[in-house]
A and B are shown apart, each in its own frame.
Chain A
Amino acid sequence: MESNKNFVLGVFNDEDVLLDGVQKIKGGGVNIHEVFTPFPVHGLDHVLGYKRSKLPIAAFLFGLTGTILAITMQVGMMTVDWPMIIGGKDYLPVPTFVPVTFELTVLLTAFGMVGTFLVVADLKPWAKPKIFDIRQTDDKHIVAIDLADNEKDKAELELILKNSGAEEVKDKKFD
C-alpha cells in the first residue's frame, strides 16, 4: 500500500484523555503518523517520543553571528577605516558599541531563528496543508495513523483507537 494516502483517524475531545490515549496506542505497537491539536498540548511531544527541537541552537548561532557582525562593523567603521576623534573620544570607544551590538544580536537571533523555524516546519504562504479533519484547528485533537506504515489492518487499528478513548473513529483518503 502507498504511504501518506490512507489514514485512520481518532478524534479526541480532551487533552488529558488524548495524552493517555496516545500512550496506549504507542504501547500497542502502532506507528502514529502525527497528532493534530488546535492548541499546544504539553507533554504530547514527549509521549510521541519526539526529540527536543534544535531551534535553540540555531538561535544561539544566529545571535553569535549578530554579535560578531556588529562588533566588526563598528570597529571597522570607527576605528580601522576612518578613525575620527569625536568630542575628544577614543578611536575604540568600547562602551558606546554596547547598545548597537546588543540590538543586532537580538535582531539576528529573532530573524534567524524564526526563518529556520519556517523552513523546518515547512511553513510558507503557498503551502497546501493536509487537513485531516476540519475541526483540528477548532476544538478536536486528531490522531492520524497511516495504514501503509502499520502491520495491523484497519479494523484492528480502529479498535485500538476506540479503546484508547477516541470519541470518534473515521478514515481519510488523500489522492
Chain B
Amino acid sequence: MEITAPVEKATDHSHEPVTASVRKPLVTGGKTIHDVTKDICGPVEAAPPKTWLLAMGLSSTVLLVGLYALLMTLWEGIGMWGLNKTVGWAWDITNFVWWVGIGHAGTLISAVLLLFRQKWRTSINRAAEAMTIFAVICAAVFPVIHMGRPWLGFYWALPLPNTFGSLWLNFNSPLLWDVFAISTYFSVSLVFWYIGLVPDFATIRDRAKNKISKLIYGGLSLGWSGGAKNWERYESVSLILAGIATPLVLSVHTIVSFDFATSVIPGWHTTIFPPYFVAGAIFSGFAMVLTLMLVTRRIYKLEDYITIHHIELMNIIIIVTGSVVGIAYITEFFIAAYSGVEAEQYAFTNRMTGPYWWAYWSMMTCNVISPQLFWFKKIRTSIAATFIISIIVNIGMWFERFVIIVTSLHRDFLPSSWAMFTPTLYDIGVYLFTFGFFFTAYFLFAKFFPVINMAEVKAVLKSTSSKE
C-alpha cells in the first residue's frame, strides 16, 4: 500500500518529496536525477577498480579449473562422476535444481514486485535479472552433460520427426516439460532484462566520449530516444511481460519439482513438492541476490541506492520463504508418518538417522533455524550478519536438494542394491565450473552494463528520495 500525501499542484514548482514520513526513503543522500546518471554510468565509463580486477581474476581462474573437469567429462563420459547404478542422479541434478532455484529471485523481483507496485525493487531488479540469466545457464549445463552425448541432444529434446532417428518426443515425460520450461524461462527473462536495459544503454550512448563505446552502446540502445509515445508502449510491454513472467516463474520450479513428484520413489512422490520447491527457490534466490548485492554495493559504492532498508526488506522475504520451507519439511515428515506407507516412513527416518544424517541436519540448521535470526531487527539490518546468513542459506538449499535426491535413491527397493554416493574430483570440478562462469559473467555484467536500472530509479526518485 502506498501512503502518500496528496501531490501538490504542479504550479507550486516544489521539489520536495511527496511521500509521507511513514515510508522510508529508497534513495538516500539527496540525489538529483543527474546524480543517478553519474553514479550508475560512472563505473561503466571508468577503468575498473582494483577490487573488480581481483574478483574477476579469481572467478576466471575457477572457471578455467572447472572447464578442465567439464571437458574431461565430455571427452570420457559421465563415468568420470561418482554415480553408480543405484544413485544415477546426484550432484548433477542437485546442482541443476539449485541453480534454477537461485534464478527465481530475479524474475520475482522484476515481475512479481512490479505487479505489486513495490517501488523498492527498482534498485535491485537489474542485477537480480542478470543473476537469473547466468544462473539458468549454469543450471542448463548439468542436464546437457548428463545426456552423455549432448551433441545428439537435438534428437532427444526437440520435436523433430521420426525420420531423424528417434521417435517423436514423449510429452508424458516431465523431463521434456523441463526442456520447454527452462528454455522458455531463459529466453523470456533475457528479453525482459534487455528491454529494461534499452533506455539505460541510450543514456550511456549519449554520454560516451569515444567512438567505440558510442558504436557499441548505440547498437545496444536500438536507437532509443525516450519519446513519450515509445515510453507508453514500453510501459505496456513491461507490464504484460511482468504479467506473463509471474505465472512462468511459478511454473518453472513447479515443473522442476514434477521431475521428482511424478515418480514412484519414496520421498519424491509427494503432492507438496510444487509449492515447496517454489518457496525454496525464492528463498535461495533472495539469499544469492543479497550475497551479490552486498558485494556490488561495496565495490561500486552504491550505498545510497541499495540501502539498509532494501536489505531489510529482502531479509523479511527470507524469513517468510524460509518459514514456508520449514513448514514444508515438517508437513512432508508428518504425511510420511501418517500415510502408513512403510516405504515412505523408512525414507524419512533414513534421511534423519541414516548414513546421510549429516546432510539432513545441515539442511535443517541452515534453512530452518538460521533465517529465523532475522526476526531480530539488529540482525536483519546488519550487513555482516546478512552476508553470512545469505551464504548459509544457499549452503542449506544445496543440501536440501542433495538430501531429497541422494537419500531417496541410495536405499533401493532391493536391499542388495543399496549403495552410497561419493563425489569424484570431476563432480566437484563441474560444479566449480558453474561457479566460475556465474561470477565471471556477473562481474563482466557489473563492469559493462549499468547495474541499477537508472530510468526506473529516476522515475521514483522524486517521491521516494531523502533530502538530507
A positions within 8 Å CB-CB of B: 14-17, 19-20, 34-41, 44-45, 48, 50, 52-53, 55-56, 59, 63, 73-74, 77-78, 81-82, 84, 86-87, 89, 93, 96-97, 99-100, 102-104, 106-107, 109-111, 113-114, 117-118, 120-132, 134, 136-139, 165
Residue of A nearest to B172 (CB): A96
B199→A137 contact, CB < 8 A: yes
B interface secondary structure, majority = helix
B354 CB to nearest A CB, Å: 30
* Choice from B162, B171, B187, B227 contacting A111 with Cβ under 8 Å: B187
A40's closest neighbor in chain B, by CB?
B231
Q: Is the CB of B233 within 8 A of A117?
A: yes
Q: A39-B456, A78-B171, A114-B237 are in contact. List 18 more A-B contacts (CB 8 A).
A: A34-B227, A34-B228, A35-B228, A41-B459, A55-B236, A55-B237, A78-B170, A99-B181, A99-B251, A100-B180, A102-B247, A103-B180, A106-B184, A106-B248, A123-B224, A129-B202, A139-B32, A139-B34
Known: A96-B171, A126-B219. A121 touches B162 (CB 8 A): no
Considering the chains assembled together, what is the distance between the CA atoms of A144 and B36 in angstroms? 24
5 A-B pairs with the lowest CB-CB distances in the bound complex, closest first: A127-B223, A20-B10, A139-B33, A123-B222, A16-B10
Q: Judge whether A50 and B228 touch: CB under 8 Å.
A: yes
Say yes or no: B13 contacts A14, CB within 8 Å. Answer: yes
Query: Do A77 and B244 form a contact, CB below 8 Å, given A53-B232, A118-B222, A127-B222?
Result: no
A-B contact count (CB 8 A): 212
CB distance from B379 to the nearest CB of A (A): 35
Q: Which residue of A lies closest to B262 (CB)?
A: A96
Q: Which size class do B's interface residues fall under?
A: 35 or more
B207-219 vs A, CB cutoff 8 Å, 1 = contact: the mask equals: 1000000000001
Q: How far apart are B164's CB and chain A's nearest CB, in angstroms?
A: 13
B357 at the interface (CB under 8 A from A): no
User: Contact between B184 and A97 (Cβ–Cβ < 8 Å)?
Assistant: no
> Can you sample 12 A-B contacts with CB below 8 Å?
A37-B231, A39-B231, A63-B244, A77-B169, A78-B168, A82-B162, A102-B247, A106-B248, A123-B198, A124-B223, A125-B219, A129-B223
Residues in B lying within 8 Å of A, measured CB to CB: 7-11, 13, 15, 32-34, 36-37, 159, 162, 167-172, 174, 176-177, 180-181, 184, 187-188, 191-192, 195, 198-199, 202-203, 205-207, 219-237, 240-241, 244-245, 247-248, 251, 255, 258, 454-456, 458-459, 462
A113 contacts across to B, CB distance below 8 A: 237, 240-241
B228:A100 contact, CB within 8 angstroms: no
Asked if B159 and A73 sit within 8 Å, CB to CB, the answer is yes
B229 touches A125 (CB 8 A): no
Q: Kindly state the separation between the CA atoms of A82 and B258 in the bound complex, as whole angstroms.
A: 25
Report Cα–Cα, A69/B468, bound state, in Å. 57
Q: Contact check: which of B174, B203, B229, B244 meets A106 at CB < 8 Å?
A: B244
Chain B residues with Cβ below 8 Å from A125 are 219-220, 222-223
